[in-house]
Structure 1
Amino acid sequence: MTTTASTTAEHNKLPYVAVTMGDGAGVGPEVVVAAVLDPQSNAECRPVVIGDALRLRQAADVLGIEADIQSIENVEDAVFTPGRVNVIDLALLPEDLPWGQLSSVAGHGAYEYIRVAGELAMAGKVQAICTAPLNKEALHSAGHIYPGHTELLAHLTGTEEVSMMLSTPKIRVIHVTTHIGLVDAVRKINPDLVERTIRRGHEALVRAGIPNPKIGVCAINPHAGENGLFGQGEEGEKIEPGVKAAQAAGINAVGPLPADTLFFLAGRGDYDLVVAMYHDQGHGPVKVLGIEAGVNITVGLPVIRTSVDHGTAFDIAGKAIADPRSMVEALHQAAEMATRPAPVG
């Protein structure tokens, strides 16, 4: 009896994580059900799904698993027992919503799940948000014009600047720029932005339990410009001063370094974090090295947010073949970061 009471008391100390269902026509409902029922997830956090209970039941049927999917009104109403999925049911999707087809109704639902999760986090009802994938075209067709989750959450929380971090078992990457063209990215990069990105990455890793992370900073040009041979001196003008400013603040940052070499070194464990200058510079190596268990972390928000590092996968939605490992890992990292206080200063 004492053991049970003690176990319950310990479980009640775990962080609440709002798990958004993503686009209901994609693989989100399937990976959410699988991840929320995973024993590791329930040992590390108290997941509460924001979505549609009906769609989650359909996903459980697709997967052929027994799931006690229960609608609740408030986070504090959640009851955590084996096989149970607690869901704040927004009931936005029709019963006959097709799997794997673009839908503005599903796009609007994905927006609403994020909106509610953001409100819960800002109110302190949950300690982190973990998001299943949405479809940008569906989101836009519903009238919500955002490039993706990162920008949407920044808007909903009133945050001016955030960074995207990708984390896999082999490598972590944070981006100075993301969803803009390459020419625009080079134009946007400047020493202050580089420094702020390094700082955000450093703080996130300290929060995750790495006290003095070693950070490698990518160059823009091949061979880091090779003393002016390649490019227009972008490394010395745009990157190096930002790295030096971070070093002056006590951050263990090195660079700018040739990106190809840096990713090789980081992949074998020499660096805890790589700072990529633009979207594909960081995303390409990450997807080669471990997209199956990859996690997308939005750094700089007033709340913790993690996500799978894959899309809605319409081609396999509703077929019980979506891999839930990335969602399980996203929940793991949300719990890990939510249980640590933010660094001071």
Structure 2
Amino acid sequence: MKKIAVSIGDINGIGIHIALIEHSNIKKICHPLYCAHQEIFEKACDILKVKMPKDMEFLPPKQNIPEIIPAQINSQSGRYSYESFIKACELADKNEVHGICTLPINKKAWNLANVSEIGHTEVLAKRYKKDTIMMLGCEKMFVALFTDHIPLKSVSSHINTQKLISFLLTLYQNLKLKNALVLGINPHCGDGGIIGDEDEKIYQAIEDVNKIIGKEIFIGPIPPDTAFSPSNRKKYSFFVSMYHDVGLAPLKALYFYESVNITLNIPIFRVSVDHGVAYDIAYKSEPNTQSYLNAMNLAIKNGFLYE
């Protein structure tokens, strides 16, 4: 049975509750190792008024045990979620686990804890010195992001033909894609340059990378407002978006509870839930766990997406 390290995320959010709810199901399909102190889970059980499972295995980070303060953003929970993630990475680096699954963090809490990276993906890029690719989705649809956590005003300056060629080629090599639809960036893909010339760079990158691969894998650019039409979703399972929200808004509208987050182009397998800490319901009501279940199932399959 495969071992999966679970980074528990922000202890003031819904992560621990999700892990507790699904432990009995998860243990049937893998051997989960929770990167946290048992005492934190015991405290969470006290707050939630639920029984602590007796067969949970903990591999805690070298970090002081913080207090759980439901729904509060603070540096202590930020530091602990970061150290839990690093512990999971260390286990994967040593081949002590087959992959890692991360529960949600709060980026502001990381900032308060003086973590220099914005989030998980940026830590992985720095740790492994790789150009990581953030891809989110579920069995029905995946969206890979050319740019992820950058301001909207900076996106146009990042559209570069050579960088996009490298990105698309890396995506193909990581997934062995059969095909993928690439979104443009301007309304109507620029209408021949009268509404911006960035889409011409995207078109050139698609043409060049298909020549390198030797077949037509990437199609586009397609105007984002029609890219996710029902007919396109029948023909394509993979989409490439130039900007974070343009690609993820339709994905989350369609498959909010099902989607997961995958980091590509790193030497370990990392998958995550595709939602936040949900402070509004933390320790109050039961969270939806489908994203976590899907993420763990994908980790067990080691990212094989074509079953």
SS at match of 2:229: helix
1:61 positional shift = 4.9
Equivalent residue, structure 2, for 1:129: 100
1:21 positional shift = 0.4
Equivalent residue, structure 2, for 1:77: none
Equivalent residue, structure 2, for 1:239: 202
CA–CA distance in 1 between the matches of 2:146 and 2:295?
22
Inter-CA distance 63–171: structure 2 relative to 1 (3 Å threshold): farther
1:219 positional shift = 0.5
Equivalent residue, structure 2, for 1:201: 171
1:338 positional shift = 5.4
Answer whether contact 1:171 1:289 (CA < 8 A) is retained: no
Inter-CA distance 63–280: structure 2 relative to 1 (3 Å threshold): same
Structure 1: stretches of 5+ with no match in the other structure? 1-10, 70-83, 207-211, 341-345
SS at match of 2:70: coil
Inter-CA distance 68–200: structure 2 relative to 1 (3 Å threshold): same
Equivalent residue, structure 1, for 2:6: 19
SS at match of 1:311: coil
The residue type paired with residue 293 of structure 2 is V
Equivalent residue, structure 2, for 1:46: 31
Equivalent residue, structure 2, for 1:57: 42
CA–CA distance in 1 between the matches of 2:232 and 2:104?
26
1:186-216: CA deviations, max 9, x gaps? 101212222233233334434xxxxx43200
Equivalent residue, structure 2, for 1:333: 298
Structure 2: stretches of 5+ with no match in the other structure? none
Answer whether contact 1:63 1:320 (CA < 8 A) is retained: no
Q: Does 1:162 align with 2:132?
A: yes
Q: TM-score, normalised by structure 2?
A: 0.90
Which stretch of structure 1 is more off in the superposition, 330-339 or 21-30? 330-339
CA–CA distance in 2 between the matches of 1:58 and 1:323?
21
1:141 positional shift = 0.8
Equivalent residue, structure 2, for 1:258: 223
- Give aligned-pair identity as a percent: 32
SS at match of 2:108: helix
Answer whether contact 1:167 1:173 (CA < 8 A) is retained: yes
1:234 positional shift = 1.3
SS at match of 1:48: strand
Q: Does 1:139 align with 2:110?
A: yes
**In the alignment, which of 92, 112, 123 is matched to residue 64 of structure 2?**
92
**In the alignment, which of 233, 236, 243 is matched to residue 268 of structure 1?**
233
Answer whether contact 2:124 2:132 (CA < 8 A) is retained: no
CA–CA distance in 1 between the matches of 2:155 and 2:180?
21
SS at match of 1:293: coil
Q: Does 1:324 align with 2:296?
A: no
The residue type paired with residue 160 of structure 2 is N
The residue type paired with residue 179 of structure 1 is H
CA–CA distance in 2 between the matches of 1:266 and 1:31?
35
SS at match of 2:136: strand
Answer whether contact 1:171 1:266 (CA < 8 A) is retained: no
CA–CA distance in 2 between the matches of 1:43 and 1:214?
34
Which stretch of structure 1 is more off in the superposition, 260-269 or 330-339? 260-269
1:109-157: CA deviations, max 9, x gaps? 011111111111112111211100111111111111211110012222x
Which stretch of structure 1 is more off in the superposition, 315-324 or 59-68? 59-68
1:16 positional shift = 1.8
CA–CA distance in 2 between the matches of 1:264 and 1:65?
44
Q: Does 1:105 align with 2:76?
A: yes
The residue type paired with residue 235 of structure 1 is D
Equivalent residue, structure 2, for 1:190: 160
Inter-CA distance 112–267: structure 2 relative to 1 (3 Å threshold): farther
Equivalent residue, structure 2, for 1:34: 21
The residue type paired with residue 64 of structure 2 is L
Inter-CA distance 199–335: structure 2 relative to 1 (3 Å threshold): farther
1:310 positional shift = 0.7
The residue type paired with residue 164 of structure 1 is M
The size of the alignment, in residue pairs, is: 302
1:59-91: CA deviations, max 9, x gaps? 44555654434xxxxxxxxxxxxxx22111336
